[in-house]
Chain A
């Protein structure tokens, strides 16, 4: 697995009173092409009309970025395709496209950035702001109602760098309320610096959330516009190991122990018998914690050196179904499956070691079907993590 992770996340607050946003953010990861495309578009106005404009723009920008068409040409196509507003007689939607490509092993992360009328994106390496050159091109479309300038730039991103993009709802927050001219780019810049210096490893999710919440606060908690912020952060991946099932042969127990010891990251053991094997290998005490369980999920146990010890198949089934349904973690019952899901969602890369020994007792037709085939459930777990949560997963059998 890669030792570099591209953490992309965003946060958004709609204009006060609106149920739908005029800011639209799209993110696609295409691991086969080693490409990630993040598009932020702000449609004219707010509410439904703006959402239609912004969605059209974002989707077009997105699709065109994955095609062979040059970005400049793409931008013209987008502008010519947008419907014209009846009142204002213009078709208009801003966009920022970050087309991120990398070589195998996450080396040479290259970004092609196209910006049209959104506030300028910012780059930071740690707390230090990075400046870079942009090439400006005038579109000169016939139907244009004003001078249309698009800026292009391309640069490499290194470990520890961040690229931060936002809509004008961020820079104009506080306008006429707490601040005469709004928060402005300088204010946002300073806030980001302070946030990073207070928490150097702040994740993209947390940083984007902090920025939009601050903007909303400046608007007196009644946002004047849609507020959206996107953060791209190049960092080390957070890793989790799941061990489930006893190894096929007893001789492989030692190998399992070595693999758990050598793993750098969070460790989950899922399976009572497996946990007993690990406890024996590590010479640690296992204790069943009867305070945390539900009618569907048996209690967890505690063991020094392992972050979470759960029962196997029933717990895994619950975890998988929660991930497949994209259940909100906060709404899950307070049982071991909830802790399990929380750890997985906080990880970027999940490695699973599946022991292949068959439990005779589980071949009984009288017990629930969930206690069935470990491999099937692991396949579903990986699919849900990869497709619903864009996690990297790997598996090995022992």
Chain B
């Protein structure tokens, strides 16, 4: 991967998935396809990270975020891509 790629990691455990990572993943996938960013964003899923009570957990370029909704995450991704 080139240096300007952004890595987005999502917890795909039951709790995080049910708490919002299902729609966050959809939102990111849509954002990537609408803006033709598949070369710039690397998506990776994780199994339960053991912090279910404060999910959904997302990490963008190693910075961890929790309990945010899909709009926030997409905004954070946009910022990271700038």
1/0 contact string of A336-376 vs chain B (CB within 8 Å): 00000000000000000000000111101011101100000
Flag if B45 contacts A299 (CB, 8 Å): yes
Residues of chain B lying within 8 A (CB to CB) of residue A288: 12, 44-47
Question: Is A295 within 8 A of B23, CB to CB?
Answer: yes
Which one of B12, B46, B47, B53 lies within 8 Å of A364 (CB-CB)?
A: B53
Task: Pick the residue among A286, A293, A313, A360 that contacts B47 (CB under 8 A).
Answer: A286
At the interface, is chain A mostly helix, strand, loop or mixed? loop
A301 to B11, CA, bound (A): 12
CB neighbours (8 Å) of A286 from chain B are 47
Contact of B43 with A by CB under 8 A? yes
Q: Mark A264-296, 1 if CB is under 8 A from B, else 0.
A: 000000001101100000000010111001011
Q: Chain A 312-349, CB within 8 Å of chain B: the 1/0 string? A: 11100000000000000000000000000000000000
Q: How far is the CA of A361 from the CA of B50 in the complex (A)?
A: 9
Q: B47 near A301 (CB under 8 angstroms)?
A: yes
**Chain B residues closer than 8 Å to A360, beta-carbon distance:** 52-53
A298 pairs with B53, CB closer than 8 A: no
Let me know if B26 and A311 touch, CB within 8 A: no
**Contact residues in B for A314 (Cβ distance below 8 Å):** 14, 17-18
> How distant is the Cα of A366 from the Cα of B14 in the complex, in angstroms?
13
B6-17: contact bitstring with A at CB < 8 Å (1 yes, 0 no)?
A: 000000111101
A371 touches B45 (CB 8 A): no
Identify the closest chain A residue to B26 (Cβ): A295
CA–CA, A298 to B12, complex, Å? 6
Residues on A with beta carbons closer than 8 Å to the beta carbon of B14: 272, 298, 311-314, 359, 362, 371
> Inside 8 A of A371's CB, which chain B residues have their CB?
14-15, 18
Closest to A298 in B: B17
Residues of A within 8 A of B13 (CB): 272-273, 298, 311
Q: Nearest-CB distance from B65 to chain A (Å)?
A: 18
Residue in A275, A290, A367 whose CB lies within 8 Å of B43: A290
Residue B25 is within 8 A (CB to CB) of chain A in the complex = yes
Which residues 11-56 in B have Cβ within 8 Å of A in the complex? 12-15, 17-19, 22-23, 25-26, 43-48, 52-53, 55
Alpha-carbon gap, A273 to B51, bound state (A): 12
* Cβ contacts under 8 Å, B53 to chain A: 360-361, 364
Contact A298 B22 (CB under 8 A): yes
8 A Cβ contacts from A184-215 to B = none
Residue contact A366 to B48, C-beta cutoff 8 Å:
no
B residues in contact with A290, CB < 8 Å: 25, 43-45
Residues on the B chain within 8 Å of A370, using CB: 18
Shortest Cβ distance from A289 into B: residue? B45
What is the distance, in angstroms, from B60's C-beta to the closest C-beta of chain A? 16
Given contacts A295-B26, A366-B19, list 12 more A-B pairs with CB under 8 A: A286-B47, A290-B43, A290-B44, A290-B45, A293-B22, A293-B25, A314-B18, A359-B14, A359-B52, A360-B52, A361-B53, A371-B18
13 of the cross-chain contacts (CB-CB < 8 Å) are A273-B13, A288-B47, A295-B22, A295-B23, A298-B17, A299-B12, A311-B13, A311-B17, A313-B14, A359-B15, A360-B52, A361-B15, A361-B53
Q: Shortest 6 CB-CB distances between A and B: which pairs? A: A361-B52, A288-B45, A272-B47, A272-B48, A298-B17, A361-B15
Residues in A lying within 8 Å of B, measured CB to CB = 272-273, 275-276, 286, 288-290, 293, 295-296, 298-299, 301, 311-314, 359-362, 364, 366-368, 370-371
